[in-house]
């Protein structure tokens, strides 16, 4: 009992740290966009190809494209994909209409897989296994998710109301037009359990504004240097610069680049 109370208190304190999270000035913000920086901050050092799962009208997809050379957005919903494709910033993004659980993506072909407000549309265990299989070794899965509150979540839910009111006064809340599922099938507690079971070492965090985040780095196998991170001599490698931009550098082979081991193996 004491352990549960202590853990619950710690979770509340951690969620309260989100009081400092404020919407990026934009004409569109909601409880999903509020946590886009968690996804953008999880982009691995070497990132050539990213997947946005349940991309909706492509808000995050376009943000990812600012820093990742190749970005794919997938959604089952035809009108969301049509709206995403119609957006001015979409020219360079590959949008596909399909089910991420069955779409014939090559396994291990993404450096980053992101899912914002879409995981609860699927069976959580099956979806997490599938998304992890799409990642290359050392790739990162970043989820912003919805879950059901239980009694123990009440303090966090109540604490979220005031910042939410303030945010709404600063800018109107944007209701995205894509399909929603409510209530989410998993509670925060059961979702944390699924994440821990399926993905060892996943960082699961209850967030203040009715969301959780989950960030997981796929373990690197000892000798793995993925196709996307270390192409054959003469290929290209993406390099993160400063605040998270990627620049493309000529890849002249491991020795020429002073390459010892991939960054993720050193974590």
Give yes or no for residue 51 binding ligand SAM (CB under 6 A). Answer: no
101 binds ligand SAM, rule: CB under 6 A? yes
CA dihedral 96, 102, 104, 105 (to 10 degrees): 70
State in angstroms the smallest separation of the CB of 115 from ligand SAM. Answer: 8
Among 100, 131, 142, 199, binds ligand SAM (CB under 6 A): 100
User: Is 209 a binder of ligand SAM (CB under 6 A)?
Assistant: no
- Residue 117 is a binding residue for ligand SAM (CB under 6 A): yes
Q: How far is the CB of 122 from ligand SAM (least distance, A)?
A: 5
The answer to whether the Cα torsion of 11, 51, 132, 100 is positive or negative is: positive
Is residue 72 near ligand SAM by the rule CB under 6 A?
A: no
Supply the minimum distance, in Å, between the C-beta of residue 109 and ligand SAM.
Answer: 17
Find the binding residues for ligand SAM in span 21-40 (CB under 6 A).
Answer: 32
What's the min distance (Å) between Cβ of 117 and ligand SAM?
4
C-alpha 165/C-alpha 159 separation (Å) is 11
Task: Classify each residue of 148-174 as buried b or exposed e, where b means 16 or more C-beta atoms within 10 Å of its C-beta.
Answer: bbeebbeebeebbeebbeebeeeeeee
By CB under 6 A, tell whether 179 contacts ligand SAM: yes
Stretch that binds ligand SAM, among 9-17, 55-63, 199-207, 212-220 (CB under 6 A): 55-63
| CB burial string 112-138: b at 16+ within 10 A, e below | bbbbbbbbbbbebeebbebbbebbbbb
Phi/psi region, residue 108 (left: phi>0; alpha: psi -120 to 50; beta: rest), is: left
CB of 180 to ligand SAM, least distance (A): 5
Scan for tokens 């995981």, then name that residue. Answer: 119
* β-bridge pairing 212-217 and 203-206: antiparallel
List of residues contacting ligand SAM (CB under 6 A):
32, 53-56, 59, 74-77, 80, 99-101, 116-118, 121-122, 176, 178-180
């Amino acid at each position: 009992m004491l352990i549960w109370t202590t853990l619950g208190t710690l979770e509340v304190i951690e969620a309260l740290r989100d009081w400092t999270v404020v919407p990026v000035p934009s004409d569109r913000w909601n409880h999903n966009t509020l946590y886009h920086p968690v996804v953008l901050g999880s982009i691995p050092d070497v990132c050539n190809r990213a997947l946005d799962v349940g991309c909706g009208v492509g808000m995050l997809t376009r943000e990812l494209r600012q820093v990742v050379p190749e970005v794919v957005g997938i959604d089952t919903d035809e009108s969301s994909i049509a709206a995403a494709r119609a957006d001015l910033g979409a020219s360079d993004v590959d949008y596909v209409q399909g089910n991420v659980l069955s779409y014939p993506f090559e396994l291990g072909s993404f450096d980053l897989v992101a899912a914002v407000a879409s995981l609860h549309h699927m069976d959580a265990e099956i979806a997490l296994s599938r998304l992890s299989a799409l990642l290359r070794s050392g790739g990162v899965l970043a989820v912003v998710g919805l879950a059901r509150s239980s009694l123990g979540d009440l303090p966090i839910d109540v604490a979220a109301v005031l910042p939410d009111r303030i945010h709404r006064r600063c800018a109107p809340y944007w209701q995205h037009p894509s399909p929603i599922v409510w209530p989410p099938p998993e509670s925060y507690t059961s979702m944390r359990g699924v994440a821990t079971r399926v993905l060892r070492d996943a960082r699961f965090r209850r967030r203040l504004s009715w969301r959780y985040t989950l960030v997981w780095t796929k373990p690197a196998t000892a000798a793995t240097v993925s196709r996307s991170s270390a192409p054959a001599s003469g290929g290209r490698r993406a390099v993160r610069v400063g605040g998270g931009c990627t620049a493309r550098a000529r890849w002249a082979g491991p020795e020429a680049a002073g390459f010892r081991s991939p960054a993720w193996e050193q974590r």
